[in-house]
Chains A and B, each alone.
Chain A
Amino acid sequence: MFGLSRKDTLLLIFVAIITFAAPILMNPFPTESSLAQFNAGYPDLMQRFVIFGIFAIGFNILFGLTGYLSFGHAAFLGAGSYACVWMFKLLGYNILPGIILSVIVSAIFALAIGYISLRRSGIYFSILTLAFAQMSFALAYSVLGTDMFGLKGGLTNGETGLQVYNSDPQIFHSDSAPDLPHLFGIPMRTTEVVQYGAWEFQFNVGFYFCAVVMLIAFYLSIRIFRSPFGLMLRAVKTNQNRLNYTGVNTKPYALAAFVISGMYAGLAGGLLSAMDPLAGAERMQWTASGEVVLMTILGGAGTLIGPVLGAGLIKYFENIFSKINEGILKGWFEFLPDTLGDAVVWVLYFFTGSGWHLTLGLMFMLVVIFLPGGLVEGAGRLFGIGRRKKKTPASKTQAAE
């Protein structure tokens, strides 16, 4: 179906079902239960799951296929966010022009940065992309954020962040349209709350819009992975020297992958603004670039579904683990004797709340050491896809003959 193999079609359908059912699946605990804080089924977080999923899917096209490790992809995320908010300011709150422009702007931006950065490979490439991203951050944060060309706050409005004001032109804005991001009149913020017994589920328009965009992005990435173009990208990763002597010009292939992944990042940035019409320079910071690297490796670089899993996991930790404060921990360990309980809480507190990065770091270490293929490899081992492993020794003896 859709020009995909049976296996890929099943994967796409599976991801689609999980995504569309996410508002239910992410809220497994009744609202009043003590475990309700582990529920992730609220619109804001679910939007982030899919938006950062898009970001990671795109990053994986560059890193997973060609092996070029970019440490500056947040620059494209930020550029996309700014472009989208500018469309809100100039044209009005319909999100389509903004999202289209954010993809175009980030493509041009990626073409320029990629063209220069891809003159080097390995660590030097990574450093170049990091340098460009930090320069973009500095530009957005200060240089372009001061009054210029008669624009108050410049192009980015500096540290306040770019937002929409009543005085903005919004030339296509009509009184009948909602005064916040919408798609042809349907506001992104609209949420249908459904009570089912003790459970509460929130179905949000913005989330479903992002989910559809993510599924399209995911579908396109499957096509790229399975295409002759994708095969060439994997060849770039494996042996560039051979590829050159095989009549292939490797640089444009790497650049094409860079631009495509930049466009994915721009799309994600545009969606972030479409969900919340505010773009700040911090989206371009190196921590944001590093985050997408973590997501991709954690999930499984070079696999189709890995980056989405990684994005979901990291966003879940960021939002859920960081909310577990000392009080909540104390509540959990009430049953223990006072001193022991205090000790346990004291230890665990390092790993929760603002210490959630510590948990993430530990998890990242464990994955990299024991599952270099990421969560996808872990899942593969669990569900016995290890059958392929059994075949290898037999074929090896054959080869040695």
Chain B
Amino acid sequence: MAILQVRNVSKRFGGLQALNDVNLSVEEGSVHAIIGPNGAGKSTLLNCFVGRLVPDTGTVMFDGKSLLGIKPHEINQAGVSRVFQTPEIFGDLSLLENVMIPSFAKRDGDFKVNWWPRVDTERDVQQHAEDVLQEIGLYEKRFEIAASMSRGDKRRLEMAMCLSQDPKLLLLDEPTAGMSRADTNATIDLLKRLGETRGLTKVIIEHDMHVVFSLADYISVLAQGTVIAENTPELIKGDPRVKEAYLGTEAE
């Protein structure tokens, strides 16, 4: 069953046609990669999923509901979590607090003046956050301040924050951008492990072919705002159109 369905989405910025009649459907439980050369419209498309941009035409349906015209926090409450290109975390707060915030948001909804209880006596949320940190391998560092972490750890923390909400769909915007080879491999392993233990539906936007072919079940290739090919990784590798638009230029 398709959990995310994109139909005829177009988006224009002034004279630039960023997205042109994009159709896409993401199967539940799959890892769907969106690849394409720079400026292909990958990030624009992702921003249409999370409420940052509204497409000029077309529809985006998630879990049977339209995502158009509703705000980012409402989309998150509906079950979509997002990992950013540069990790967006709460730098001044401890790792544990970083993970407790999304857990509170999941439990209490988008707004609640929950001012009488104490954070450190909210055992259920704290326990949940600690479990997620354990799962992702940051439990030992839970009292450290997030801003002092390495880039790789920040990325892992951001994933822990998303996972703590148990999302139906996880969007990853270039999860290994700017990472060392070792950090990239660690991230691939982590995502693979999460795929096995949690069976999450993921949409990955990625530049790095190594990452894409290690993780994806299905690939959509975007070029100049249009989906030019969609298939399994094996078949995408051999597709001449893809080679021409993307892989070919890189191989030269």
Residues on A facing B (Cβ under 8 Å): 3-5, 223-224, 226-232, 234-235, 237-239, 241-250, 252-253, 256, 392, 395-396, 398-400
Contacts and interface: CB of A to CB of B under 8 A. Distances in A.
Interface string B99-120: 0111011101111111111111
A245 B72 CA distance: 6
Interface string B60-79: 00000000000111001100
Contacts of A395: 141, 144, 148
Interface stretch (B14-22, B27-35, B84-92, B191-199): B84-92
Given A395-B141, A399-B149, A238 B92 contact: yes
B117 A396 contact: no
A231 B117 CA distance: 11
B161 interface: yes
Q: Which 5 A-B pairs have the closest CB atoms?
A: A247-B76, A229-B115, A242-B88, A249-B110, A247-B105
Contacts of A3: 116, 118
Interface string B153-182: 100000001000100000000000000000
Contacts, number: 121
B92 A229 contact: no
Given A235-B93, A247-B165, 11 more contacts: A223-B115, A223-B118, A228-B122, A231-B104, A234-B92, A244-B72, A245-B72, A248-B73, A248-B110, A256-B113, A396-B148
Determine which residue in B50, B111, B114 has the highest number of CB atoms from chain A within 10 A of its CB, and name it: B111
A247 B50 CA distance: 11
B42 interface: no
B117 A399 contact: no
B206 interface: no
B62 to A, nearest CB: 14
Nearest to B121: A3
Nearest to A256: B113
Nearest to A227: B115
B115 A230 contact: yes
A277 B72 CA distance: 50
Contacts of B81: 245-246
B90 A242 contact: yes
A253 B114 CA distance: 11
A245 B148 contact: no
B89 A246 contact: no
Contacts of A228: 100, 104, 108, 112, 114-115, 117, 119, 122, 125
Given A399-B148, A399-B150, A227 B93 contact: no
B130 interface: no
13 contacts: A5-B120, A231-B119, A235-B101, A239-B88, A241-B88, A242-B89, A245-B50, A245-B73, A245-B81, A246-B81, A246-B105, A246-B161, A398-B141
Central interface residue in B77, B102, B125, by most chain A CB within 10 Å: B102
With most chain A CB atoms within 10 A of its CB, the pick from B71, B81, B104, B109 is B104
Contacts of A231: 93, 97, 100-101, 104, 119
Contacts of A5: 118, 120
B74 to A, nearest CB: 8
Given A5-B120, A392-B148, A238 B91 contact: yes
A4, A230, A247, A399, most chain B CB atoms within 10 A: A247
A395 B148 CA distance: 9
Contact of A226 (B91, B111, B118): B118
B111 A249 contact: yes
B111 A253 contact: yes
B82 interface: yes
Contacts of B71: 244, 249
B205 to A, nearest CB: 15
A86 B236 CA distance: 78
